[in-house]
Structure 1
Amino acid sequence: MKNIIYSYATVFLLLITSCGNKNNETSSEGEQTETSAIVVTQDQFTSNGLLLGGLEERNFPDVVETSGMIDVPPENRASVMAFMGGFVKKTPLLIGDKVKKGQLLVTLENQEFVQMQQEYLQVYNQLDFLKAEFERNKTLYDEKIASQKNFLQAKSNYETAKAKYQGLREQLQMLNISPSQVEKGAISSLASIYAPISGSVTKVNVSMGSYVSPASQILEIANNEHVHLELTVFEKDILKVKKGQKIQFTIPEASNETYMAEVHLVGASIDDAKRTIKVHGHLENEDDTGFLPGMFVNAMIMTDTKNGLSLPDEAVIESEGSSYVLKLVSQNAEGYTFEKVHVDQGNSYGGFTEISSEDLKQDDQFLLKGVFDLIGG
């Protein structure tokens, strides 16, 4: 009898527990239904500057992400070197100084310059005599008076001296030493080096009294009036890149601003080690940008475009690895009711993000501003 009573009691307790679980499940489902809807009063909507809006159809570019640097064309960069070694006698410039083409950069001193001028002057003074001797022997040889040997010797002496004269003259001009002044007897141990282009000094590798060899770079000059992008694109993307495509780029270390450029040249060979190719881009509105050669850039090359439905970036929130928007469910005098809807996020461009979802319609309204404050990120 007691066992029967215990059995009835056990069944009764199980029924109570089961009912309690069902009630809890129902209660939990109700809470979830309530929390999926977000209610905002009219006062909250106005005071927080919230904003409603619909989907917009926009063009979104397919992009190739790359990086590179600001550079200048080869003709706008010059390495200043000496044609002959010497000791630095004068160097008034510092990094950042602006120079004009033809401006004095460095003065070198070397006794070899003196020796070269002496040899030039010696040959110069001999030329008239050797020329006259050659012409005299030629006349005598033509008249069968002088021997061919004497004529050829005179010719050889004159031609050798003339070649040496011309060679020394060229070397003096390369050292910016005036041959005409040497011919007047003005010999100097100094040689001057002048700026080959206008621009700014970017490197100074010498100091007063230091010795400069012919292979040493003394200065570097860069003209920043025309700068360009030198980008590195991986082999897998190179067939997408064509001349004339737009480039959007930033300089992350210097500015948050976005700049525009255009593909001007695509390299003709691939780097075997890195499997990359160089892409040359021309900047739009490069005046007054203040860009300097060597600045690092992040860039996107826009290779194609496609249409898509979009919302402003601020309306799409990423949370726990997924993207969400707040869709307007109802609106009355008391306020607004929104539903948190999961969406698939596509490309972002120009402040708008491409979205797609089976739960969205073209005429739906969404919260465009203040989404993060309501659902967080």
Structure 2
Amino acid sequence: MCWITPTPRWNSPTSHNSLMQTVNSFSALMPDARCVLRPLPLLFLLLLPVLQACGGAKEVNPEEPEGIILTEAQFAADSMRLGQVETRLFERVIKANGTIEPLPAGMAGVNAPVPGLIKAIHCHNGQVVSKNQALVDVGGSAVIDHQTNYVEALAEYRQLKSEFERVETLFNEHVVAEKEYKRAEAALLSASARYNGLRLKLLAMGFSLARVEQGDFYPTYTLKAPITGVISSLPIHLGHAVDQQTELLTITNPSMLQVRLSVFPSDAALLKPGQRVRLKRVNETKVHEGSLTAIGVGINAATKAIDAYASLPTSKEARFMAMEYLAADIIAHTDSVRAVPDEALIKSDADYFVLVLDKQLNDRYVFSPVNVSIGRRQKGYTELLNPTLSGQLLAKGAYGLDVSR
């Protein structure tokens, strides 16, 4: 038979009753066992944790706040900061591609007024030339023939002019018939036309008429620069045969360039002369400022776009070249919009979120993720299309935070 004589005192009646129930259960399971549990304090020590657990202990579950919780230590480590939705000026930008072209008076081709052969070349590609500077000498039999024909035409013109004056006097005195007068007049007009045509050609070649009339012919004539600029094309060589249709060289004035922009017809209504244009070369980050000068009124059949024209900056450092390609941003107008820094946005799948501050508990910040609709992005800020969003939000350091939980 087994018996237990409890001697310690318990502060809690509940603990004492629990112990006695455990001992009674043990005795019921082993009614015939002969054992003496001594010393009793050792048994109590072994059962003490069970008794304490079964006692009147109370479980505490403090309620955690809902949302994304960040500590001040995280703020300092990731350089986070709070902010608000800001009002900023956003530009309405129209994208366009452009090509640098000379103004109509900024490019000139040089042609030979009379056929001949290239006898001398006084310039080279890329050379800066001044207006009326000698470029190319052209000679050949055609040059001599024109001077010969001019002298003959001059002699014939003078003779027929004298004859016409004689016949005109007789006609006024009713000595000759009107038919003879008309014949003399027609002959003079024909000779005058031939003489003046040859005279103009000699002047175009730069010849002195008085020298040619005296029989002192020029073996060559010199072509001169019609404008000041840079020789951009020179596809000729010595001995090259040329005629009126052959363009010997091209001169471009680098200070008289413009940009031809291709704009979608749907954007044409937003364009006005004087609007700012930002220009940038391909594979270059530097931006140059120009302004819109003209807008076309028809669609270009080749590009299916509207042609608009913009001026170029006059900076010598830019060194723009004809037929160079540029990317352009036309500033149509500016809008006052609500925006947040790009660093405040969190992208989750196809959605964007910002973290709005709910409350601050000691050294902790509790945020709620708010889904937002975004618009334009400019200069580190993103336009918000949510009109009711307000309050403090995480303006920096939101990137990388998980809002899907």
Normalised by the size of structure 1, how large is the TM-score?
Answer: 0.75
- Per the alignment, residue 42 of structure 2 pairs with none
The match for 2:245 is 215
Alpha carbons 2:69, 2:364 under 8 Å: kept: no
SS in 1 for 2:119: strand
In structure 1, the partner of 2:236 is 206
Larger Rg over CA atoms: 2
Give the drift of 1:251. Answer: 1.5
Aligned runs of 1:287-326 on 2, under 5 Å? 287-288=315-316, 289-313=318-342, 316=345, 323=352
2:136 aligns with 106
Query: C-alpha displacement at 1:348, in angstroms?
Result: 2.4
Superposed CA offset, 1:33-75 (max 9, x none): 89x5565748955xx8776654421121223222111222111
Counterparts of 2:76 and 2:70 in 1: how far apart (Å)? 12
Q: Does 1:178 align with 2:203?
A: no
Cα offset, 1:247, TM superposition:
2.3
Which of 69, 72, 89 in structure 2 is aligned with 1:59?
Answer: 89
CA drift at 1:353:
2.8
Match of 1:278 among 302, 307, 313: 307
CA distance in 2 between partners of 1:365 and 1:93 (Å): 67
Q: How far did 1:157 drift? A: 3.8
Change (3 A) 1:351 1:186: farther
**Identical-pair percentage:** 27
Deviations 1:275-332 (A, max 9, x none): 311011224x433232222221222223343222224456557676555667678889
Higher helix share: 1
- Counterparts of 2:201 and 2:172 in 1: how far apart (Å)? 37
- Unmatched 5+ residue regions in structure 1? 1-29
Matched AA of 2:92 = D
Q: Is the Cα–Cα contact under 8 Å of residues 41 and 335 in structure 1 kept in the other structure?
A: no
**TM-superposed deviation, 1:123:** 2.5
Hey, what's the Cα distance between the residues in 1 that align with 2:355 and 2:215? 91
SS at match of 1:209: coil
Pair 1:302–1:179, CA change in 2 (3 A): same
- Mapped to 1, the partners of 2:132 and 2:268 lie a distance apart of 42
Q: Distance in 2 between matches of 1:247 and 1:177?
A: 49
In 2, the alpha carbon distance for the partners of 1:72 and 1:317 equals: 48
Structure 1, 74-83 or 154-163: larger mean CA deviation: 154-163
Q: Match of 2:375?
A: 346
* 1:88/1:314 CA distance change after superposition, 3 Å: farther
Residue correspondence of structure 1 range 19-58 to structure 2 within 5 A = 41=73, 45=77, 53-58=83-88
Q: Name the Cα RMSD after superposition.
A: 3.5
Does the CA-based 8 Å contact 1:55-1:365 persist in structure 2? no
Match of 1:161 among 191, 199, 203: 191
Change in CA separation of 1:273 and 1:221 when aligned onto 2, cut-off 3 Å: closer
Structure 1 pair 81–311 and aligned structure 2 pair: CA distance change class (3 A): farther
Question: How far apart are the structure 1 equivalents of 2:271 and 2:123?
Answer: 43
Native 8 Å contact 2:344 2:394 kept in 1: no
Tell me the residue number matched to 1:256.
285
Distance 1:178 1:188 in 2: 9
User: Equivalents in 2 of 1:81, 1:256: separation in Å?
Assistant: 41
Q: Secondary structure at the match of 2:373?
A: strand
Name stretches of at least 5 consecutive residues in structure 2 with no aligned partner.
Answer: 1-63
Give the corresponding residue for 2:8: none
Distance 1:356 1:128, change over 3 A: closer
What residue identity is the alignment partner of 1:170?
L
- Residues 144 and 306 of structure 1: is their aligned pair in 2 closer, same or farther, counting only changes over 3 Å? closer
Aligned-residue offset at 1:191: 1.9
Which stretch of structure 1 is more off in the superposition, 145-154 or 210-219? 145-154
Structure 1 residues 226 and 115, CA, compared in 2 at 3 Å: closer, same or farther? closer
Note if contact 2:231-2:250 (Cα within 8 Å) is conserved in structure 1. yes
Q: Decide which moves more: 330-339 or 297-306.
A: 330-339
Q: Which moved more, 1:307-316 or 1:86-95?
A: 307-316
Q: In 2, are the aligned partners of 1:177 and 1:192 still within 8 Å (CA)?
A: no
Q: Decide whether aligned partners of structure 1 residues 40 and 96 sit closer, same or farther in structure 2, where only a CA change above 3 A counts.
A: farther
Query: Is the contact between residue 328 and residue 337 of structure 1 (CA under 8 Å) also seen in structure 2?
Result: yes
Q: Normalising by structure 2, what TM-score?
A: 0.70
1: distance between equivalents of 2:326 and 2:309?
Answer: 13
Deviates more, 1:317-326 or 1:96-105: 317-326
The number of aligned residues is 337
Partner Cα distance (2:212, 2:256) in 1: 41
Structure 1 segment 2-13 matched on structure 2, within 5 A: none
Moved over 4 A (4+): 36-40, 42-45, 48-54, 144-154, 312-343, 356-360
Q: Provide closer, same or farther for how the CA distance between residues 188 and 313 of structure 1 changes in structure 2, counting only shifts above 3 A.
A: farther
Q: Secondary structure at the match of 1:268?
A: strand
Q: Judge conservation of contact 2:276–2:291 (CA < 8 Å) in 1.
A: yes
Asked if the contact 1:42–1:336 (Cα under 8 Å) also holds between the matched residues in 2, the reply is no
Higher relative contact order (CA 8 A, sep 6+): 1
Bigger mean CA deviation after superposition, 125-134 or 238-247: 125-134
